[in-house]
Chains A and B, each alone.
Chain A
Amino acid sequence: MIKRVVEISSARRHLSIKHEQLVISEGRQECGRIPCEDMGVLLVDHPAVTYTHSVFTKLLECGCAVVLCNGKHHPVGMLLPIESNTLQCERFRNQIDAKKPVKKRLWQQIVRAKILHQAKVISEDELAVSALKGMAERVRSGDPDNVEAQASRRYWGVFAEGIKFKRERFGGPPNNMLNYGYTVMRAAVARSLCCAGLLPTLGIHHRNKYNAYCLADDLLEPFRGFVEARVRVMCNEFEEVEELTQEMKAELLEVLYEQVEIGGYKGPLMVGLHRTAASLQRVFAGEGKCLELPKIEI
């Protein structure tokens, strides 16, 4: 089921719940109401927003992810539902007990898909495309040669032709667009993992002990291309700005509704993510070998 993405960032809003609907108001004036069960991601990026407690509890009960940003517009945390799947316990167990070779093979599939997606984003540069395709072929189980990094270097080199661009987390524009896009995508991925009854914390490759969403970051890799392709188009559309405008954010958020094809399913990306998460769960349970990832035609 397609869900709504809501961002609160323009002014001092107050969020509350009435009749199981999320009520967004400014002072005494109500600006909008959204049924909680229609919510997919709530992103709050304004320092003076106030909440009632039930906003969080109700939204989480409805399986909505809540992303909170700090004064620098950086996401500092995410709330995800604990009880989002009825078979959760068994599935956690499968995930924890997954053997190393299984995880390595998964990582190989993910890196391959990521590199192919990168090739698609820069499809006009034939030289780089063939190089990336060759690299994707060379990815071994668990990617011990770190082909991922080699591909990324090549890719970011050609990514933004004509603008001086270095991909850095806190770098200048268009890094801010990429960060914003990744954040939203990551929240959507984490949410789909929870719905599939997996722990977003336990990664298959990412193992940073300070990162609470390792698995979400792993699974995010093949989907980054969607954000990057969008940012590339936007670089030509908009002036470089330090602060993203609402218009830019809306355009980045729309990535979640792009049409994709995942394992025979055609429809919005946000719904397709559930297929990917479900296929990952099957691999952990030993019922399948392949991840269902977006089909990429170069």
Chain B
Amino acid sequence: MSGTTENRNLSGYRAVWLFAMFDLPTDTKRARKDYTIFRKRLMKDGFAMVQYSVYVRHCASEENAQVHYKRVKGFLPPEGEVRLLQITDKQYGRMEIFWGKKRKPTPAAPKQLELF
């Protein structure tokens, strides 16, 4: 898999990335329960964790991103803050990741076509 920026976008659509970032209360048992439910729903919708409370999903097209926007809005937790942010595949590819002072390679976008 090559880096995202040089990925030929096979599908002819512009791929986008959808970030879900959240801060949810965990003070009561009920709040923790809601937190878990929300987190699991995110994963079931195809989101993957990039950092604590930061989840990202690759969407093959702008229209598809809208679908997932709507879905997340449909299962928002009763309390706490959730932010949704959409960026293009190109912008995502320019993200720099550091581990200590060492730069880590940016993860590649999933291709429309994958061979395992």
Contact = CB atoms under 8 A, between A and B. Distances in A.
A259 interface: yes
Nearest to B64: A1
A256 B112 CA distance: 10
Interface string A1-27: 111111111110100000111001000
B115 A267 contact: no
Interface in B65-116: 110-116
A294 to B, nearest CB: 14
A254 B10 contact: yes
B110 A259 contact: no
Contacts of B115: 6-10, 246, 249-250
A33 interface: yes
Nearest to A37: B46
Interface stretch (B19-27, B28-36, B37-45): B37-45
B114 A6 contact: yes
A10 B115 CA distance: 8
A257 B8 CA distance: 11
A29 B43 CA distance: 19
Q: Chain B binding site: helix, strand, loop or mixed by DSSP? A: loop
B52 interface: no
A38 B60 contact: yes
Nearest to B111: A4
B54 interface: no
A8 B116 CA distance: 5
Contacts of B13: 2, 267-268
Given A2-B60, A19-B40, A7 B114 contact: yes
A1 B61 contact: yes
A35 interface: yes
A24 B114 CA distance: 11
A268 B61 CA distance: 12
A243 to B, nearest CB: 14
Q: 6 nearest interchain CB pairs?
A: A35-B46, A257-B10, A19-B43, A20-B44, A2-B11, A2-B60
Given A1-B61, A21-B46, A38-B60, 16 more contacts: A1-B60, A2-B11, A2-B61, A4-B110, A5-B114, A6-B113, A19-B40, A32-B114, A35-B57, A246-B115, A249-B115, A253-B113, A254-B10, A257-B113, A268-B13, A270-B11
8 contacts: A4-B110, A5-B113, A19-B43, A38-B46, A254-B113, A257-B113, A267-B13, A270-B11
Interface of A: 1-11, 13, 19-21, 24, 31-35, 37-38, 246, 249-250, 253-254, 256-257, 259, 267-268, 270
